Structure 1
Amino acid sequence: MLRWLILSLLLIPLFDARAAGDEAAVRATFAAYKAAVLAQQGERAADNVTTGTLREYARYRELALSAPRAALEALPMTERLQVLIIRARVPAADLRAMDGRRVFTHAVDRGWIGREGVERSELGAVQVDGDRAAARLKIGATELPVDFEFEREPGGWRFNLIPLTNMSEDVFKQLARQNGVSENEMVMTLLRGLSEAPVDERLWDPPTP
C-alpha cells in the first residue's frame, strides 16, 4: 500500500504536465485556425479542424448538388442556410469537382467562414477530458457561456466547428418568430444578406446536370 501511494504521488506531476501540455496545444490549435481564417488561407485552416468538420462539408456539398426542396426543408435551419449558401456561391460544375475539404478551403480562401466572429474571439478557461476539450469563448476580458470544442486526432488537437453551427439554430428560430416569418423566409433573408449576387426561390431546387 505504501509503495502504491508513493508511486501515485510521483505520477501526479506527470499527469499535471500532460494536462498543461494539452491545454497549450488546444490554445495553439485555435490560434493557428484563427490566423489562417483571418489570412484567408484555407489549407492551413483545414489542417486545424476536425475530420468530422470536413465530413460535414462533404455532406453539405452533396446536398447542394442533389437535394430537392422537400429534403432541404426537413433539415435544421442552419443546415438549410449552409447548403443554400454553397448553391448560391459555387457553380455546380466547380462543386462537382470538390470534396468536403476543398469546399471548406474554398470558403476560407474567399473569406466566407467566420472572419468577423473569429477576429474578436479568444479562449478563456480550457477543460481537457481525455481526447476532448472545451474552451470558453472570451471576447475582450469577458468569458461568455459558450464553449468551443476540440478533439484530439492523429497529429494533434483539432477545432470542431459543427457545434457552433448547431448553436445557431435556436437563434435563427427566435429571429423567425420575432419577425413573424416562416423558417424558410428567414433562411432566405439571411441568405440575401450574405450573398454577393441576387438570389431567388429557384435556389431551393438542385442545379441541373
Structure 2
Amino acid sequence: MKTVAAVRNALLGVAILAGAGISAGYPEGSPAQAQVAPAHQDAAAVGETFVAARQALLAKDGSGVLELLSRESLARVERTRKAALDGEMAALGPSEKFGALGLQHYLKPAELRRMTPAQIVEFGLRKNWLGPNVITQAGMERVSVRGDRASGTLVVNQRPVMVPADFVRENGEWRVDLTRAMDLTDAIVRGTAMATKRSEDAVVREMLDRAVRNQAPAR
C-alpha cells in the first residue's frame, strides 16, 4: 500500500477539491488553434498558469481554482458531486468514487445542494484537504511542451512526486488538466485490488479512511 499512500494527499486535491462539484458549466467554444509560439514562451506561460493555480489555492479562492481547470477535467469530475448527492457510484472509476465518498464524509446532502462549486472548494481548503504544507511546498520543474499539451515535474518540498502536472491549451490559454492524474490513480487502485485480492471499493474506502485519519485539523 506504499504506492497508494504516496498519492493519497494528491487524490484529495484531484478527486475531491478540484472535483468538488462542477455544476457551473463549461467555457464556451472549442479548443482554439493557437498561433505557433517559441517553446520557451509556451513553457513560461505554462509556468504562469501553475503559479496562478498555486496562488488561488493559497488564497482559498474557489472561483480562481475552478477557472484554471480544463474542460476535460471539468467533464471528468462533474460526475463526482452528482454521485455524492444521489449515491449512484457503480459506474464511477476509483478516483471519482474516492471523491464522491469524500464529499459524503465531509458534507451533508443539504450542504452539497446549497453550496456553489467555488464554496465547496473553499470549504475543502479551509479543512486542509490537501494537507497543511502541500500547497506552500509545491513547485514545478522541467516543463515540456508538445503542441497544445504540456507537462512538468511536480515537486513537494523539493522532491519529485509521482502525480503528473499536466496542462492543455484551450482558447489560447493554458489550463490545468487533471485527467492523467485521475487515470493513474485508477490504475493504481485496480492494481492494488488485484494484488491483494480485494475489491476496488475496499481499496478506495481504505484510502479514504487513512486520508481522513491523517488530515490536520482546520485552522
TM-score (norm 2): 0.65
1:46 Cα deviation from its structure 2 partner: 2.1
* Higher helix proportion: 1
Q: Distance in 2 between matches of 1:146 and 1:91?
A: 29
1:104 Cα deviation from its structure 2 partner: 3.9
Task: Extract unaligned runs of 5+ from structure 2.
Answer: 1-34, 214-219
Residue 156 (1) aligns with residue 157 (2): no
Structure 1 residue aligned with 2:19: none
1:25 Cα deviation from its structure 2 partner: 0.9
1:118 Cα deviation from its structure 2 partner: 4.7
Q: Distance in 1 between matches of 2:136 and 2:192?
A: 24
Structure 2 residue aligned with 1:50: 70
Give the one of 73, 76, 84 matched to 2:90: 73
Structure with the bigger RCO (C-alpha within 8 Å, sep 6+) is 2
Given that 1:50 and 1:159 are in contact with CA atoms closer than 8 Å, whether structure 2 keeps it comes out as: yes
- Report matched runs for 1:1-209 at 5 Å: 18-68=38-88, 72-98=89-115, 100=117, 102-113=119-130, 117-138=134-155, 147-154=164-171, 156-177=173-194, 179-195=196-212
Matched-pair identity in %: 26
Larger Rg: 1
Q: 1:93 to 1:120 in 2, by over 3 A?
A: same
SS in 1 for 2:150: strand
SS in 2 for 1:45: helix
Superposed CA offset, 1:168-203 (max 9, x none): 12322344455553322222222222337xxxxxxx
Given that 1:54 and 1:104 are in contact with CA atoms closer than 8 Å, whether structure 2 keeps it comes out as: no
* Greater alpha carbon shift after TM alignment, 25-34 vs 42-51: 42-51
**Structural RMSD (CA):** 3.2
Q: 1:155 to 1:92 in 2, by over 3 A?
A: farther
For these two proteins, the number of residue pairs brought into alignment is: 179
